[in-house]
Amino acid sequence: METLRKIAYFSMEIALDAEIPTYAGGLGILAGDTLRAGADLRLPVCAVTLLHRKGYFRQRLDDSGWQFEEEDPWDIEKYLTPMEPRVKLTLDEREVWVRCWRYEIEGQMGDNIPVYLLDTDVEENSEWDRHLTDRLYLGDHYFRICQEAVLGIGGVRMLRALGYEQLARFHMNEGHSAFLGLELLDEEMSLRGSEEIDDAMLHAVRRKCVFTTHTPVPAGHDQFSLEMARKVLGHHEAFFKRRDLFEPVKCATDCLNMTYLALNLSHYVNGVAKRHAEVSRLMFADHEIDSITNGVHAGTWVCQSMQSLFEKWIPDWKLDNFNMRSSLSIPDDDLWRAHQAAKNDLCDYIVNETGEQFSLDVLTLGFARRATSYKRPKLLFENKEWLFEIAKKAGGLQLVFAGKAHPGDDLGKFFIQDIIRMRADFAEHGIKIVYLENYDMKLAKYLVSGVDVWLNTPQPPMEASGTSGMKAALNGVPSLSVLDGWWIEGCVEGVTGWAIECPSGGRDARSLYEKLEQQIVPLYCERRHEFINIMRHAIALNGSFFNTQRMMLQYLARAYFL
Ligand SMILES: *Cc1c(COP(=O)(O)O)cnc(C)c1O
């Protein structure tokens, strides 16, 4: 029976399908990949998120390279089924009604995972409340706390109204959904007819909750002033008496911190890579924090030509991703041909979008991520002369960029503009640069499979995990990356890719150029079979491990059924 499902997965964003723009980036992609693997593994999971009628935003770049944001409405009725139940919550003394829509994630074995997308656009609500579930990550603090209350409190109430009575675990993918713990506490209190929160109730709620944290810096954690929280959440006297549940120990901040709330209400907490868990333990010394390294969903991210190759050489690669270790026996020619087919598809995409003709035979680097300072999108350009030199030795270079800046992040928008403005100058030195508009799932798949090397230059320890390099690895595309996030675990130097070393003096660009000049270019241009061997090991060592099948099995063993 559908409603006997045991695990409820909550996330502010979920990338359900390339045609459904209900995600902003890595967090949403991870949520989608998690659920896709859950469906493949036939796990008894259901999921809750918000509808995001108008998506995150569609990125447009004008002639000067400046980013503009457009609403990104989508055809809800085409993909979703409206559900009957309506639930109600009180926000700042207003009654807000919530309905939901159902999306089915199909597993390979024919089992589905239902995803419920909450929607406040119903007639009974005020005009303002009707827009609460329209857009992802926009609006001020007040808007955000209302959205998060709809997700956490409205989400639990909706699952109950849909008939889910057997839920034993509630998984919070980041702190946005932590108000679900508040609702579970309310359930306990009314069950026991109590007006206070006692240890037994806390214990009961903690048994049910699992929290995955994604943010390596304190500033990244959501918090709201206590005054606002009281105003919006209203009658929760027992809860607001227990400030230890949502503030740091011995340090009154007069804020309700969503990360502390999630930490304090969960029996199991994890970071998304080994290094990230270490960093999180320093931030939250009073909590035990495990690590389960992220993955990606192989069936979603392996491109067509690679899928055909795997079908031929790796029986059951999709059903059980561990089988990808067998990629070591794929012959050079076959692997190269499949890669070139993917590169050809990317070149077609590029010429259609920009008119720029990329060559199949020139070393091509890919860089796609949110345009923001810590990702250091311009590190590659720190020493132009050196880069020109390298391009000369390589017989040219092709650079493909993509990524959105957060609408409020002008610095990020300047990064994009700067890169676009360098094009003409670089073209004279044999370096082609394109910046592709509107980075999304569809474009990501072209990029991670079609470039030759995947570049990543975050400022450590800011990259909690990173997943795009894992997608590249699955497609036989090795990474050249700073040792941070997952790459600390995934990099075997010269075997699965290359590390950009980060000496404390900030000479990271030097290491980047050295690796390009001394390792990558000679292998790509002169010792192709050695380059292909690295591609093969990217699949065998990293594709077989950094996938959401392995990740879900770890959640199952450690978090869900402990
Ligand atoms: C995979 C992916 C991301 C996350 O990639 P990172 O390496 O974590 O930056 C973001 N956006 C899209 C569209 C993706 O496909």
Q: Could you tell me the pLDDT band of residue 506, with boundaries at 50, 70 and 90?
A: low
Dist. CA 51 → ligand 1 center (Å):
21
Beta-carbon contacts of 316 under 8 Å, excluding residues fewer than 6 positions away, are 323
| pLDDT, position 196 | 94
Residue nearest to atom 13 of ligand 1 (CA): 440
Dist. CA 22 → ligand 1 center (Å):
14
| Residues pairing with 170 in the sheet | 8, 209
Domain membership of residue 404 (yes or no) is yes
Q: Which among 369, 376, 27, 59 is positioned nearest to 220, based on CA atoms?
A: 27
Domain membership of residue 3 (yes or no) is no
| Residues pairing with 95 in the sheet | 90
What ligand 1 atom has the least distance to the C-alpha of 443?
13
The phi, psi pair for 106, rounded to 5°, reads -90, 130
Q: Could you tell me the pLDDT band of residue 2, with boundaries at 50, 70 and 90?
A: confident
Asked if residue 410 and residue 354 are part of one domain, the reply reads yes
| pLDDT, position 217 | 82
Phi-psi region of 303 (alpha: psi -120 to 50; beta: other; left: phi over 0): beta
Residue nearest to atom 3 of ligand 1 (CA): 26
Model-level pTM? Answer: 0.97
Q: Is 526 helix (H, G, I), strand (E, B) or coil?
A: coil
Q: Rounded CA gap, 406 and 83, in Å?
A: 33
Asked if residue 153 and residue 225 are part of one domain, the reply reads yes
Cα angle: 18, vertex 21, 26; to 5 degrees: 80
Dist. CA 493 → ligand 1 center (Å):
23
On the question of pLDDT at 561 being above 90, the answer is no
Q: Report the C-alpha dihedral over residues 147, 150, 153, 158, rounded to 10 degrees.
A: -150
What ligand 1 atom has the least distance to the C-alpha of 375?
9
What ligand 1 atom has the least distance to the C-alpha of 471?
1
Domain membership of residue 314 (yes or no) is yes
Q: Could you tell me the pLDDT band of residue 507, with boundaries at 50, 70 and 90?
A: confident
Helices 141-149 + 226-233 axis angle, to 10: 50
Return the amino acid letter for 271: G
Domain membership of residue 1 (yes or no) is no
User: Which residues constitute the domain of residue 173?
Assistant: 9-59+68-295+551-560
Which of 58, 369, 374 for mutating ligand 1's site (highest number of atoms within 8 Å of CB)? Answer: 369
Dist. CA 401 → ligand 1 center (Å):
13
On the question of pLDDT at 505 being above 70, the answer is no
Give the residue, 373 or 262, on which the prediction is more confident.
Answer: 262
Domain membership of residue 2 (yes or no) is no
Q: Rounded CA gap, 364 and 422, in Å?
A: 17
Q: Is 118 helix (H, G, I), strand (E, B) or coil?
A: strand
Domain membership of residue 142 (yes or no) is yes
- How high is the mean pLDDT of the chain? 96
Which of 467, 470, 482 for mutating ligand 1's site (highest number of atoms within 8 Å of CB)? Answer: 467
Q: Rounded CA gap, 122 and 429, in Å?
A: 58
Q: Which residues of 259-280 are buried (b: 16+ CB within 10 A; e: fewer)?
A: bbbbbbbbbbbbbbbbbbbebb
Residue nearest to atom 4 of ligand 1 (CA): 26
| pLDDT, position 562 | 54
pLDDT tens profile 129-141: 999 999 998 889 9
Q: Where are the alpha helices (DSSP H) in 253-382?
A: 258-264, 274-283, 298-301, 304-313, 332-354
Helix (H) or strand (E) holding 560: none
Asked if residue 220 and residue 127 are part of one domain, the reply reads yes
Dist. CA 25 → ligand 1 center (Å):
5
Asked if residue 426 and residue 342 are part of one domain, the reply reads yes
Mean pLDDT of 500-510: 79
Helix (H) or strand (E) holding 42: none
6 and 169 Cβ atoms separated by less than 8 Å? yes
pLDDT tens profile 247-274: 987 777 899 999 999 999 999 999 999 9
Domain membership of residue 203 (yes or no) is yes
| pLDDT, position 229 | 97
Asked if residue 527 and residue 431 are part of one domain, the reply reads yes
Dist. CA 28 → ligand 1 center (Å):
9
On the question of pLDDT at 504 being above 80, the answer is no
Mean pLDDT of 290-300: 98
Q: Which among 120, 127, 131 is positioned nearest to 97, based on CA atoms?
A: 120
Residue nearest to atom 5 of ligand 1 (CA): 468
| pLDDT, position 248 | 85
Phi-psi region of 78 (alpha: psi -120 to 50; beta: other; left: phi over 0): alpha
Domain membership of residue 326 (yes or no) is yes
Return the amino acid letter for 203: H
Mean pLDDT of 353-372: 96
Mean pLDDT of 398-420: 96
Give the residue, 506 or 460, on which the prediction is more confident.
Answer: 460
What ligand 1 atom has the least distance to the C-alpha of 369?
9
Asked if residue 542 and residue 453 are part of one domain, the reply reads yes
What ligand 1 atom has the least distance to the C-alpha of 469?
7
What ligand 1 atom has the least distance to the C-alpha of 445?
15
What ligand 1 atom has the least distance to the C-alpha of 26?
4
For 403, the token pair is 């990524």
Mean pLDDT of 158-180: 97
The phi, psi pair for 441, rounded to 5°, reads -55, -40
Dist. CA 467 → ligand 1 center (Å):
6
The region of weakest confidence among 211-220, 283-292, 326-335, 516-525 is 211-220
Dist. CA 187 → ligand 1 center (Å):
37
Dist. CA 24 → ligand 1 center (Å):
9
Give the residue, 421 or 1, on which the prediction is more confident.
Answer: 421
What ligand 1 atom has the least distance to the C-alpha of 465?
8
Beta-carbon contacts of 193 under 8 Å, excluding residues fewer than 6 positions away, are none
Return the amino acid letter for 38: G
Which of 17, 468, 480, 548 for mutating ligand 1's site (highest number of atoms within 8 Å of CB)? Answer: 468
Residue nearest to atom 9 of ligand 1 (CA): 369
pLDDT tens profile 66-110: 999 999 999 999 999 999 999 999 999 999 999 999 999 999 999
pLDDT tens profile 516-553: 999 999 999 999 999 999 999 999 999 999 999 999 99
Residue percentage of the chain with pLDDT more than 90:
93
What ligand 1 atom has the least distance to the C-alpha of 440?
13
pLDDT tens profile 310-324: 999 998 999 999 999
Helix (H) or strand (E) holding 399: strand 397-402
Q: Rounded CA gap, 58 and 64, in Å?
A: 18
| pLDDT, position 377 | 87
Q: Name the pairing type of β-strands 67-70 and 268-271.
A: unpaired
For 205, the token pair is 């709620």
| pLDDT, position 253 | 85
For ligand 1, residues with CB inside 6 Å are: 25-26, 29, 369, 439-441, 444, 466-468, 471
Length of the chain in residues, anyone?
A: 562
- What is the number of structural domains in the chain? 2
Residue 358 exposed, middle or buried by CB count within 10 Å (0-12, 13-18, 19+): buried
Q: Rounded CA gap, 297 and 551, in Å?
A: 10
CATH number for the domain harbouring residue 117: 3.40.50.2000
| pLDDT, position 468 | 98
Q: Rounded CA gap, 351 and 467, in Å?
A: 27
pLDDT tens profile 425-473: 999 999 999 999 999 999 999 999 999 999 999 999 999 999 999 999 9
Helix (H) or strand (E) holding 145: helix 141-149
Asked if residue 347 and residue 450 are part of one domain, the reply reads yes
Mean pLDDT of 25-46: 97
Asked if residue 244 and residue 174 are part of one domain, the reply reads yes
Asked if residue 20 and residue 102 are part of one domain, the reply reads yes
DSSP state of 542: I
Beta-carbon contacts of 221 under 8 Å, excluding residues fewer than 6 positions away, are 175, 215, 257, 258, 259
* CA-based max dimension of the chain: 76
Asked if residue 331 and residue 264 are part of one domain, the reply reads no
Q: Rounded CA gap, 440 and 24, in Å?
A: 9
Which of 17, 29, 303 for mutating ligand 1's site (highest number of atoms within 8 Å of CB)? Answer: 29
Residue where the block lists tokens 């809800």: 76
Dist. CA 331 → ligand 1 center (Å):
30
Residue where the block lists tokens 């931030």: 283
Q: Rounded CA gap, 56 and 60, in Å?
A: 13
Residue nearest to atom 11 of ligand 1 (CA): 25
Q: Rounded CA gap, 323 and 553, in Å?
A: 15
Asked if residue 277 and residue 309 are part of one domain, the reply reads no
- Rg of the chain over Cα atoms, rounded to whole angstroms, equals 24
Asked if residue 215 and residue 141 are part of one domain, the reply reads yes
